[in-house]
Structure 1
Amino acid sequence: MVSETNNNFYTGFFKSDYLTEKDKYLFSKTPPKYKFNVIGAGMIGQEHIKVTMLEGRAKINGIFDLNENSIENTCHFFRQQYPGNKLKVYDTLESACQDSEVDGLIICTPNYTHVDIVKEAVKSGKHILLEKPMATTLKDTWEIKEIAKDYDSIFQIGLQYRHKPIYTEAIHEMLERKSAGNIKNISIVEHRVPFLDKVNQWNKFSEYSGGTLVEKCCHYFDLLNLFAQSRPEKVYATGSMDVNFTDFYYKGTKSNIIDNAMVTVNYENGIKAQFQLCMFAPMFYEEITICGDGGRLKAYEKEDFLPINGDRTYLEVLSGENGTAKTAVPCYPTVIQGSGHSGATYYEHKYFIDNIEGNYKATATVEEGFWSIVVGEAAERSIKNGEVINVSDMLEQDIYSKLLE
């Protein structure tokens, strides 16, 4: 039915400027139901603006950021991309959160600011989409989890990788269809270029990012946790800073983030998982392999910057005599896939609004966000001290014992 289509999606493929409004039916634009404010107007903030406006049921009402250059750049981007739409710039975080015209807040500021911003945001009672990672320390992550526990509105964590085409299909095959039987082990690989530049280069310092395995790799630990369907029990990791930013200083402080690692996770239900990271590869490459007692799934996504035509994604399920085999090229429509993180951010927003409307869709919960940080923090500690980290001991030391004080 036309009434159920996303007209912004249609206009991404077809020209309609030659039509007057009275001649538009497929291309007519339904006024958005919701207004969102974006807290943090950097690169990721612009991605959230883009997918909100593309999805169409909401629009971006305004932005707040402490950096004048980010505000100016995002306002310029907004004027160019969405002529005729107004973008409000707020003077304070409080005013951005408390605006009565706004239905939801999208928080995408640097990691170390999240806990303080959340404390202000929840006063509004508005729906919240908080970018990953939830925070940079176990203490702050636990505090956000407790704040959100009884929150009446939607509180979603931006672990959107689970909505990438390869992982969406892997979830369907392994957790819904049980195509490979009972999962026994899981492996994820990420090879990519170094961390990109950020305002004040905060992502080059563990103090502000939480460390590489928290900042970037919480996505993959969320996926490992999701496929394992269990709590992590023990974590062992090796890693180091071998290539990237080894001589990088910012305002007199030397960068201290790792650029490669191997992480092993044992889960309470017996499933074993591993994660391999290399951040000095000339590409973006992700691969997941899941082995069960009835088969194996493998999927990958790649961007190698080469002028050679080829599939950017691939998925296979091999079940032997237990069932059919499958190969596929998981993808979304071009306009969605190109909107950010292989289309995952678009579906993150789509499901955010679905949940606001009471049409439940599975998205990353605050509880799941917390456990993604638990694995990342355990891995960072294991690298530092060279020991296997018992997760329950770590939580007892950092969280539970302090609750009794």
Structure 2
Amino acid sequence: MSARVNYGVIGCGMMGHEHLRNIALLDNAHVSAIFEPDPGMAAQAQAIAPAAQLASSLDDLLDVPDLDCLLIASPNHCHVAQMEAIRAKRPLPLMVEKPLYILAEEEHRLSGFAAAYPAPVWVAMEYRYMPPIAALIAQCEEVTGGVAMLTIREHRFPFLDKVGAWNRFNRTSGGTFVEKCCHFFDLMRLILKSEPVRVMASGGQATNHKNEIYDGEVPDIMDHGYVLVDFESGARAMLELCMFAEGSRYQEEVSAVGPKGKIEALVPGPGRFWPRDLGEPPVPQVIVSPRHPKGPKQIAVPVDPHLLDAGDHNGSTFYQHQRFLELVRGARTRPEVSLEDGRRAVAMGLAAQTSMQTGQAVALNPLTLSSVA
């Protein structure tokens, strides 16, 4: 049996609860301590992980003696400061939920953190590990002969209710292209094996949250948009996001096309949102469509029902933690999703936010992903 790994979890709202449920399914993994300042969320976390100690602060959590690794699943605007506090007191192997940071001015702090942190850091990019998307990634070079065009479409439900409504405002979420879409920018870089050189975006707030008020403020978070990205290799990618399309059969659709053919991944949304009167939720699919000979092949990619019940991300949170535990236990030498991967995904999101606000394309230096004047 693998050595037991004890987690400390920082921030345990809705996504933190998903992490707790998936850690419970892993071989010899245990949540030892949780810091969650909201009493209601803390009580729910304690119900999922009853053996975990509830800490009153991040500092108190870092004093728990038997921790082997840490997970940050707090609101976006808390990540950088919490990472710095961990570095200063107890730099254990760390998984940080996306987005790694939300403001351009935080990037220099992230660089300082990366230079001084002595343990591995894994950025939680769950979409890489959704089984149909993982299957597309594994096969896309062979099927396409080299991806020239990549399209990612997410048609989904609005942002869910979070503690303090932090996900309703750009200043605490980073904006939708950062908060939600850094997943997709990470997939673009991973699939295309290249860096972006230009980002063009358009979007806005058409429907969602416009009648909500929090402390006298109306949410300013956008709910739809398009992003076009040109890559150094000559490949092109497009993102289409709509957050008032929860009636869709599939939530994510990824299409990669090259000179030999096309491969697609179709991912349903959370099963808990599927109307029961329509029967069982859709099964994830991969579709392979060669040019010669023609003949699309549709392949079902079913996911273990226990994993589907444990969260809203098509089983990916479990598979992500499996790999992270290999890193913690020494069976893996580096994280699959590095700090640099997390930084670059956010840089693309910030460029998209800027392009949307200014109406201008944003040129990027592919070496640094800094904006080119």
TM norm structure 1: 0.84
Deviations 1:124-150 (A, max 9, x none): 121100000101113324532441245
Residue matched to 1:64: 35
The answer as to 2:344 corresponding to 1:371 is: yes
- Displacement after TM superposition at 1:395 (Å): 5.5
- Where do residues 165-314 of structure 1 align in structure 2 (5 Å cutoff)? 165-175=131-141, 178-283=142-247, 285-303=251-269, 305-306=274-275, 307-309=278-280, 311-314=282-285
Decide whether the 8 Å contact of 2:362 with 2:371 is kept in 1.
Answer: no
- Displacement after TM superposition at 1:121 (Å): 1.4
Amino acid at match of 2:119: S
Decide whether the 8 Å contact of 1:261 with 1:278 is kept in 2.
Answer: yes
- Where do residues 6-405 of structure 1 align in structure 2 (5 Å cutoff)? 33-79=4-50, 86-123=51-88, 124-149=90-115, 151-175=117-141, 178-283=142-247, 285-303=251-269, 305-306=274-275, 307-309=278-280, 311-321=282-292, 326-340=297-311, 341-360=313-332, 363-392=336-365, 396=370
Amino acid at match of 1:147: F
Amino acid at match of 1:231: E
Residue matched to 1:20: none
- Displacement after TM superposition at 1:163 (Å): 0.2
How far apart, CA to CA, are the structure 2 residues paired with 1:378 and 1:357?
Answer: 37
- Aligned to 2:246, the other structure's residue is in SS state coil
> Cα RMSD over matched residues?
2.3
Decide whether the 8 Å contact of 1:97 with 1:105 is kept in 2.
Answer: no
Change (3 A) 1:183 1:281: same
Change (3 A) 1:98 1:287: same
Deviations 1:272-296 (A, max 9, x none): 0000000011246100010011111
- Displacement after TM superposition at 1:323 (Å): 9.7
Unaligned residue ranges in structure 1 (runs of 5+): 4-29, 80-85
- Aligned to 2:177, the other structure's residue is in SS state helix
Amino acid at match of 1:166: P
Change (3 A) 1:396 1:337: closer
Which entry has the higher C-alpha Rg, 1 or 2? 1
Identity of aligned residues (%): 28
Change (3 A) 1:397 1:387: closer
Decide whether the 8 Å contact of 1:106 with 1:128 is kept in 2.
Answer: yes
How far apart, CA to CA, are the structure 1 residues paired with 2:212 and 2:13?
Answer: 22
- Aligned to 1:247, the other structure's residue is in SS state coil
- Displacement after TM superposition at 1:397 (Å): 6.1
How far apart, CA to CA, are the structure 2 residues paired with 1:362 and 1:106?
Answer: 14
Decide whether the 8 Å contact of 2:69 with 2:93 is kept in 1.
Answer: yes
Amino acid at match of 1:41: C
TM norm structure 2: 0.91
Decide whether the 8 Å contact of 1:105 with 1:121 is kept in 2.
Answer: no
Unaligned residue ranges in structure 2 (runs of 5+): none
Decide whether the 8 Å contact of 1:138 with 1:373 is kept in 2.
Answer: no
- Aligned to 2:188, the other structure's residue is in SS state helix
Decide whether the 8 Å contact of 2:266 with 2:284 is kept in 1.
Answer: yes
Decide whether the 8 Å contact of 1:37 with 1:96 is kept in 2.
Answer: yes
